[in-house]
């Protein structure tokens, strides 16, 4: 819990600094790169969490991996290492992306489908999500074959479940009650 609060504080400070330096967009891309890199590289993610690996090694590794990043992003890495908080880098990056999107009035819609969304269907989902929220919306497609068909749309705290699996579960509940 304390790590989450710290991540929010670092993310807010980073957004403020990046905005002052007119680099918020670039830093946002860096933060997305960090999140994606840590998600793809289990070794790097585990190394950041390891209490055995010295901070100097963690810092050198991160600076090598993200050497093309903005100086503000590199400054964040330096600060997290200096404060022995490098283990929350991923959380800070995720929070930064969220705060950045909020500041730009962008809402993230998650669409879970059994198969990849087609370009045409993605346009329709974007239009419907924009109509529902009144904001600019970005769509993230998650593929989950267990829903069988249909989709699950999640925007913020609101979820609309139109999956075949959900409909089958409702039918099952109706038959078991009768």
- Per-residue pLDDT, 178: 62
Is the pLDDT at 129 greater than 60, yes or no?
A: yes
Q: Which H or E run contains 129?
A: helix 119-133
- Per-residue pLDDT, 2: 59
Q: Please report the DSSP string for 30-89 in residue order.
A: HHHHHHHHHHH-HHHHHHHH-SSS-HHHHHHHHHHHTTTS-HHHHHHHHHHHHTT-GGGH
Handedness of CA 15, 18, 21, 24 (dihedral sign): negative
Handedness of CA 145, 36, 45, 110 (dihedral sign): negative
pLDDT interval class at 164 (50, 70, 90):
confident
What is the C-alpha separation between 3 and 86, in angstroms, rounded? 11
What is the C-alpha separation between 48 and 36, in angstroms, rounded? 15
CB-based contact 90:31 (threshold 8 Å) = no
- Per-residue pLDDT, 161: 83
CB-based contact 150:164 (threshold 8 Å) = yes
- Per-residue pLDDT, 13: 95
* Domains of the chain with bracketed CATH: 2-102 (1.10.520.20), 106-177 (3.40.30)
Is the pLDDT at 11 greater than 80, yes or no?
A: yes
- Per-residue pLDDT, 12: 95
Is the pLDDT at 3 greater than 80, yes or no?
A: no
Choose the weakest-confidence range: 90-94, 98-102, 164-168: 164-168
Is the pLDDT at 94 greater than 90, yes or no?
A: yes
Is the pLDDT at 8 greater than 70, yes or no?
A: yes
Is the pLDDT at 135 greater than 90, yes or no?
A: no
Count of residues for the chain?
Answer: 178
Q: Which H or E run contains 142?
A: strand 136-143
Is the pLDDT at 17 greater than 70, yes or no?
A: yes
What is the C-alpha separation between 34 and 32, in angstroms, rounded? 5
């Amino acid at each position: 819990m304390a790590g989450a609060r710290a991540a929010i504080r670092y993310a807010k400070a980073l957004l403020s600094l990046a905005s002052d330096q007119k680099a918020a967009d670039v830093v946002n891309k860096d933060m997305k790169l960090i999140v994606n890199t840590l998600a793809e590289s289990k070794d790097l993610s585990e190394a950041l969490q390891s209490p055995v690996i010295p901070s100097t090694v963690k810092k050198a590794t991160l600076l090598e991996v993200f050497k093309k990043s903005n100086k503000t992003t590199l400054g964040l890495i330096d600060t997290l290492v200096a404060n022995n908080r490098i283990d929350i880098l991923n959380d800070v990056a995720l929070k930064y992306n969220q705060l950045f999107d909020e500041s730009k009035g962008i809402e993230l819609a998650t669409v879970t489908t059994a198969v990849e969304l087609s370009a045409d269907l993605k346009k329709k989902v974007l239009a419907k999500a924009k109509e529902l929220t009144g904001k600019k919306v970005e769509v993230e497609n998650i593929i989950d074959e267990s829903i069988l068909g249909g989709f699950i749309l999640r925007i913020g705290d609101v979820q609309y479940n139109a999956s075949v699996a959900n409909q089958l579960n409702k039918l099952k509940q109706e038959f078991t009650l009768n």
